[in-house]
Structure 1
Amino acid sequence: MNNGIFTINDFKNEPILNYSIGSKERKELETKLMELKNNNIEIPLIIGGKEIKTNNTKKCIIPYDKNKSIGFYHIAGEKEINMAIEAAMEAKEKWQNMNYDRRMLVFLKAAKLASTTWRATLNAATMLCQSKTFYQAEIDSACELIDFFNANCKALCDIYKMQPMNGVDSVNRVDYRPLDGFVYAITPFNFTAIASNLISAPAMAGNTVVWKPASSAVYSAYVVLKLLQAAGLPDGVINFIPGNASEISNIVMENENLAGVHFTGSTNVFNSMWTAVGKNISTYKSYPRLVGETGGKNFCMVHNTADIDTVVAALIRGSFEYQGQKCSATSRAYIPESMWTKIKEKLISEISTIKMGDAETRENLMSAVIDEKSYKKIKTYIEYTKNSSEAEIICGGKYDDSIGFFVEPTVIVTTNPYFKTMIEEIFGPVLTIFVYDDNSFYETLDNCAKSSKYALTGSIISNDKNVLNNAEDILQFSAGNLYINDKSTGSVVGQNPFGGSKASGTNDKAGSIINMLKWVSPRSIKETFTPTSNYRYQNML
């Protein structure tokens, strides 16, 4: 019998390790990188805790060394997709009825393992699979993953504490049930931590999950699931089915037990899911919760009071870290004409010092983009710009896929604030700059606010507090995460709840109580001590 009240009272972010030469963490990571590179692992489906092999397989390659395979995964078909749904439903009753503290302990233990004995494995898998450098892997597959597990457990405890007031002759309470059915999680390639959050947030609240990982990140996703199994995750709670996205979604979205969707990916794909829900709405036992973080066309708005060094550092880090493949990456900037010459000179000079190559060389800021499809898309935008009279490339513009999918950090300057690369999401290391007349700051700011269908992240850089205050108001609905005198990236769990609106998603703020509320279904319970025995009210007597 357990009559203690378990709660988590505080949360602290996981410290970032520096991987300096000769450090323990660097030696461990380099050893693990060598081990993983020299193995070619087989990745099965995991359904109801069982390994399923379909013999329809696809390679896991290293983006910066595209001919090197580090594994191969089995692809789910219709049979396995339905098996995963059935396994999730079979596991649900036992999992949702488990004491919440015991559910949480799985993820708290996973966080501890990720911070210690599993850290090198998670980071090495992410570096090889997703072409992340030492630092980018560390802040993602170690720190942010750990933070999501810990912060979400605390958020769930805070939700359970939210109880109503009592009546004069009654006691009221709220029971936070899981959703009625299973949750479908579709995870992206660019962050191992996001993948871990999309599956774990619903699960720790008592839901069971059908998980479709990004095809280009199956390798690291598999490592995350093995971590959770090592932490004690029961069979069937999370069912792992790599495969064709449309085939899996078509089957899952038609199932009557679909209770929720947790998604990060393209706006078009999320739109198709909303459409599918509308089409199948009379089929479902309940209205599915749809939680999604989608596209972005993130901006940096510069005022003529800004510090030039601050601007250049924000543009480079915001645009080119992890090859611009962050949902929050800076991809358009507005620079005042009076500062442009100096900013241009320093920007080109600093970019020329950026080292790009394999993710394993510590000095490299950039590596390859994720795959051939992404490479070709980015290449198309660069070629479009080269052939346009409205824009010019002042830096970069070259690409090479002979060894891996490499694209240089590229800066475009346009005379048209609605130029193709100013308004369309590219998801690569391409920054487009519009130079504006200093006297047109507020007109340009208004254009920045209204020219994009997205509203994910943005930054405003100025040393004038009145300008910052006005800009903050004007940009009210232009970014779910607004950064002042900083780059447009760098959301930290517990510090900057992340998410955007408009075509950027449902703004359900990953890593916060806002997101966790989506995965519970409250039930209000009132118990009256002395029931009324007469239907007549006092004024009727």
Structure 2
Amino acid sequence: MAKLEFNNESTYKKFLEGGKEAEFDRLFDKAVEEVKKGFGKKYPMYIGGSEVFAQEQLEERSPINKDIVIGYFQKGLRSHAREAINAAKNAFRDWAALDYRKRVEIFKKAAEIFSAEKFTVAAILSYENGKSRYESIGEVDEAIDFLNYYANEMQNNKGYLRKTVIRQSSARVNSGFQGAPGSEEKITIYMKPYGVFGVIAPFNFPISISVGMSTGALITGNTVVFKPSSTDNMSMLTGLKIYEIFTRAGVPKGVFNYVTGPGSEVGDEIVTSDSVSGIVFTGSKSTGLEMVAKTYSSGKQKVFIVEMGGKNPTIVSKYADIADAVDGIVSAAFGFAGQKCSALSRVYVNESIKEKFISALMEKTRTLKIGNPLEKENYVGPLISESAYRRYVEYVEKGKAAGNLIYGGKRADVGLNGFYVEPTILEIKHENEIMHKELFVPILAIDYYKDFDDALYKANDVEYGLTAGLYSKNKKEIGKFIDSIEAGVVYVNRRISATTGAIVGAHTFVGWKGSGLTGKGTGSRNYLQQFLREQSVAVVK
């Protein structure tokens, strides 16, 4: 095979650049009408390629309007998780032995199917977690990008196999020792899959992150037990679409198993099972570290590839273009109602531009329309659940008590049975809990600084290290920021978004400190090797 080139999907950009925005909207609106006709059905789990039903079911409702029942899914138990693990274990040997080029073909095919059905998948996604059409299409594009990028990486690296030779020496010794002369050795360095991976997915990117994690495990020869978010924040129908598309693309029975159910049952069984070799997870730091601790404290050993959220800062210098800074900050803080691990939640502003910045920030935030995200004019959709709403109320009240509420802070009445809230801006000191705790709601906290070094200290003074932004035209400040910021994904003077929107193949998405474990990022050249273990094989003639 020739070396594969990678190109991002970029659906909306292509429609917009082609003067076809109306066609984009028509296709999305048509998909919305079609997918809602199928809501309310009962769906099975899929284990070893077969439909499996549990005694109890989970009812999934749309956060857009809680009156909409998306579907009824199975409340899987530990026994179902064990069954899925056994199916994946039994399928592992044949899947691992399959030529990597065959696996590349399968996932290229999956990318083609996602691309052909992107508006349908995006419409389901919007109903399921409340994203706008632009966010949803962007997420489906990212899933397609992961499929194509990882397929290219497997092919371009020839399955990560390397060969070398130690030449025969003319000298001989009676007994061997380190570095002794000997016969010719032909050495092959293999990168081999571990076995069964548990893929535990989040609600907020149930297509792109789920596809990215699953593809990473599968294309390298591992088998998977996949658990979508199945309790408070449900995203089970998009998970089922992934299973269906992978199956249609040619993933064999038992290689990818779809199991729904609570984390206390299904998730815990996956984490504690001796037959599961690795866990790939995106979610909270507390859950991620709890899984690691439970595994290693019991004497077990697994591979953990986890991304655990962030508390992402942006610094606005006195040398900033304020208009660019405000655009990027509002997008990063309030897009998808702040429910992204990369969302901006704290800003440090130079005191000399305080009034000008706050005025521009409030003016921009006022333009954001809150409401049904299926309607194109609305930017801020619903919170995913009542628990998220309660968290929003709690920290708005704490912010008002400890600082100054300068915008928002209330529930928004949009005429729908959902948890819609106003984007909220607080002035609060860096030492406050709100500046340090990941909230996953649209609350932006602002503090001020005199000295740039103080701003850098505050930006780094949290347990997380996922994304970070800077707005400054001063080269010295930019250089110091890049040298000193403790985050894996860093943006400088990015108007489109201060901290969100990493592009597969361009930005590595990786967490430092409490935001990750391996220091290797998704959508990068280093990602797939985490799912493989090295083996050196030397053969003497």
TM-score (norm 2): 0.91
Correspondence for 2:404: 392
SS in 2 for 1:311: helix
2:498 aligned with 1:496: no
Cα contact 1:499–1:509 (8 A) shared by 2: yes
1:309 is matched with which residue? 323
Aligned-partner SS, 1:296: coil
Contact map agreement 1:156 1:513 (CA 8 A) in 2? no
Q: Tell me, yes or no, if structure 1 residue 514 matches structure 2 residue 512.
A: no
Cα distance in 2 between the residues matched to 1:162 and 1:228:
26
Q: Whole-Å Cα distance in 1 between the matches of residues 374 and 124 of structure 2?
A: 12
Q: Measure, in 2, the Cα distance between the counterparts of 1:190 and 1:163.
A: 38
Question: What is the alpha-carbon distance in structure 2 between the residues aligned to residue 420 and residue 183 of structure 1?
Answer: 36
- Mapped to 1, the partners of 2:163 and 2:317 lie a distance apart of 48
In structure 2, the partner of 1:30 is 29
Q: Which residue of 2 aligns with 1:537?
A: none
| Cα shift readout 1:263-321 (whole Å, capped 9, x = no counterpart) | 0000000111111111232xx5xx31111000200000111100110110111011011
**Aligned counterpart in structure 2 of residue 330 of structure 1, from 333, 340, 344:** 344
What is the aligned partner in structure 1 of residue 178 from structure 2?
none
Paired residues for 1:132-531 under 5 Å: 132-141=131-140, 143-159=141-157, 160-161=159-160, 163-168=162-167, 169-179=184-194, 181-191=195-205, 192-215=207-230, 216-281=234-299, 284=300, 287-386=301-400, 388=401, 390-400=402-412, 403-414=417-428, 416-437=429-450, 440-449=451-460, 451-475=461-485, 478-486=486-494, 487-506=498-517, 507-529=519-541
2:321 & 2:345 partners in 1: Cα distance?
20
**Residue number in structure 1 paired with 2:170:** none
User: How far 1:249 moved relative to its partner?
Assistant: 3.0
Alignment check: 8 A CA contact 1:111 1:149 kept: yes
CA contact (8 A) 1:107 1:150 kept: yes
2:164 is paired with a residue whose SS is: coil
Partner of 2:10, secondary structure, is coil
Query: Match for 1:16: what amino acid?
Result: T
Offset of residue 54 of structure 1: 1.1
**TM-score normalised by the chain length of structure 1:** 0.91
Contact map agreement 2:306 2:516 (CA 8 A) in 1: yes
Specify whether residues 505 and 316 from structure 1 end up closer, same or farther in structure 2 by C-alpha distance, changes over 3 A only: same
Q: Tell me the equivalent position of 1:3.
A: none
Cα distance in 2 for residues equivalent to 1:265 and 1:404: 23
Question: CA-to-partner distance for each residue in 1:125-166, whole Å, 9 max, x for gaps?
Answer: 11110111011011102x100000011112223442552432
8 Å Cα contact 1:328-1:457 kept in structure 2: yes
Where in structure 2 are there 5+ consecutive unaligned residues? 168-183
Task: Find the aligned partners of 1:164 and 1:340 in 2 and give their Cα distance.
Answer: 60
- Amino acid paired to 1:371: S
Give the Cα–Cα distance (whole angstroms) in 1 for the partners of residues 537 and 280 of structure 2.
Answer: 28
Measured against aligned partners, the alpha-carbon deviations of 1:353-404 in whole angstroms (never above 9, x if no partner) come to 1111111111111110111121211221112222x1x311111111158621
Aligned residue for 2:172? none
Q: Secondary structure at the match of 1:253?
A: helix
Q: Counterpart of 1:511 in structure 2: which amino acid? A: G
The equivalent of 1:539 in structure 2 is none
CA distance in 2, matches of 1:526, 1:509: 32
Letter in structure 2 aligned against 1:468:
I
What CA distance in whole angstroms lies between the structure 2 residues aligned with 1:25 and 1:226?
25
* Structure 2 equivalent of residue 62 of structure 1: 62
Q: Which residue of 2 aligns with 1:538?
A: none
Q: 1:41: how far off?
A: 2.5
State the SS of the aligned residue for 2:526: helix
Q: 1:11 Cα deviation (Å)?
A: 1.0
2 CA distance for matches of 1:104 and 1:419? 49
User: What amino acid sits opposite 2:245 in the alignment?
Assistant: L
The offset of 1:38, in angstroms, is 2.6
Rounded to whole Å, the distance in 1 between the matches of 2:353 and 2:163 is 56
Corresponding pairs, count: 509
Deviates more, 1:261-270 or 1:244-253: 244-253
Any idea what SS the aligned residue of 1:17 has?
A: helix
CA contact (8 A) 1:155 1:512 kept: no
1:152-190 Cα deviation digits (max 9, x unpaired) = 1122234425524322233222222211x3101100011
8 Å contact kept, 2:76–2:265: no
Aligned residue number for residue 532 of structure 1: none
Residues 409-433 of structure 1, C-alpha deviations (whole Å, 9 max, x = no match):
111111x211121111111111000
Conservation of the 8 A alpha-carbon contact between 2:110 and 2:249: yes
2:4 corresponds in structure 1 to 9
Report if aligned partners of 2:43, 2:73 keep a CA contact under 8 Å in 1: yes
Structure 1 counterpart of 2:344, which letter?
T
Following superposition, the deviation at residue 8 of structure 1 comes to 4.4
Aligned-residue Cα RMSD (Å) equals: 1.7
Judge conservation of contact 1:122–1:224 (CA < 8 Å) in 2. no
Cα separation, 1, equivalents of 2:2 and 2:536: 21
Indicate the SS of the match to 1:291: strand
Deviation readout 1:426-465 (Å, 9 max, x if unpaired) = 111110000223xx2212322222x201011101110011
Q: 1:76 maps to what in 2?
A: 76
Question: Aligned with 1:517: secondary structure?
Answer: helix
Partners of 1:152 and 1:224 in 2: CA distance? 16
Matched residue SS, 1:166: strand
Q: Identify the residue that residue 175 of structure 2 maps to in structure 1.
A: none
| Letter matched to residue 101 of structure 1 | R
Q: Write the letter of the residue equivalent to 1:91.
A: A
Greater alpha carbon shift after TM alignment, 10-19 vs 190-199: 10-19
State the AA in 2 paired with 1:524: S
Contact in 2 for aligned 1:125/1:223 (Cα 8 Å): no
1:527-538 aligned at under 5 Å gives the runs 527-529=539-541
Q: Secondary structure at the match of 1:243?
A: coil
Instruction: Report the 3-state secondary structure (helix = DSSP H, G, I; strand = E; otherwise coil) of the residue aligned with 1:242.
Output: coil
CA contact under 8 A between 1:399 and 1:408: conserved in structure 2?
yes
Q: For residue 66 of structure 1, give the secondary structure of its aligned residue in structure 2.
A: coil
Write the distance in 1 (CA, Å) between the matches of 2:356 and 2:442.
22
Q: Secondary structure at the match of 2:448?
A: strand
